[in-house]
Chain A
């Protein structure tokens, strides 16, 4: 068994749940994922399963990758990701969203929406200055450190720069519904990235640690 799948985000909606009211959910298309390669400790030094998602034309891939898929007997795919485990899997096997069930908790990893080069007010929630009354200090970061001591700027000081378009994980999201015939999983709350963005969904790490698994 492996503890995760890859898929894409379809968007958000809402569902009414008995006794819980209106719940915001993100709809994820998870699977069918195909096992492309099973890595073993003897051969590769670690145990993992490589799985693929999404159809793509063969011509869109480089030839070594076409060969890689061909070896497993899997149709060329858009995405390829590795998961720990998978001792019981075979190359070419198809995985579906049935590894998740209602009430499970999952971590969802995606690439957040790019917001470009942003200032400190948007990027780090700095307060900024007054807009009026003769103020000449509006959205600037202000002082970034002291003089004689420590005579340098501390690491991780919030500065302007690229915001978004980075790998983000939303942890501990509840699975609200699993629709196997459509390969859909409904997860409570928001998920990083835009519609059609790739998401990696794993069983919640912190929940697993808590339960001692």
Chain B
């Protein structure tokens, strides 16, 4: 590693969001209007992650009023409040540029099959939701003490968050 690379490592923010290509995410963006600050949510599919160290960016694509919109966020950006994962997509490439030529049903990404261990992982990725989900799961477990009910309960809770 050369000196510039070492410097760049030091510039990386500590709590950069985590995500994967094909995931549907909700990006909470801090917006300053005058001296007021509010949070706007931008939801779409992660189609590209590029760059290294402090220069990494991700691109989120969504269809807004029939028009495709792509927004590029630096991972290091102080304007990102948090990134929630809504859905995991089953994709086979690193850049989903092919979505640009597709509209409607063809532009969908099939959701990743929910296997027991994978499910556990994706839940732990959202720290804020985690505690609530666990609490709710526990409550449901009390009603139905069957272990299989536990896994099925989690996906139902998540989209509501």
Contact = CB atoms under 8 A, between A and B. Distances in A.
- A, B assembled together: yes
Interface of A: 10-11, 13-16, 18, 22, 27, 29, 182, 184
B89 interface: no
A13 B8 CA distance: 7
A22 B11 CA distance: 12
A16 B78 contact: yes
Nearest to A19: B32
A22 B3 contact: no
B11 A15 contact: yes
Contacts, number: 30
Interface of B: 2-4, 7-8, 11, 54-55, 74, 76-78
Contacts of B74: 16, 22
Contacts of A16: 74, 76-78
A84 B10 CA distance: 36
B4 A27 contact: yes
B51 to A, nearest CB: 10
Contact of A27 (B7, B55, B76, B77): B7
10 contacts: A10-B4, A11-B4, A13-B4, A13-B7, A13-B11, A15-B11, A15-B54, A16-B77, A22-B74, A184-B7
A182 B3 contact: yes
Contacts of B55: 13-14
A182 B9 CA distance: 14
B95 to A, nearest CB: 22
Contact of B3 (A10, A14, A15, A18): A10
Nearest to B55: A14
Contacts of B78: 16, 18
8 A-B pairs closest in CB distance: A11-B4, A10-B4, A13-B8, A16-B78, A27-B4, A10-B3, A27-B7, A14-B55
A53 B78 CA distance: 37
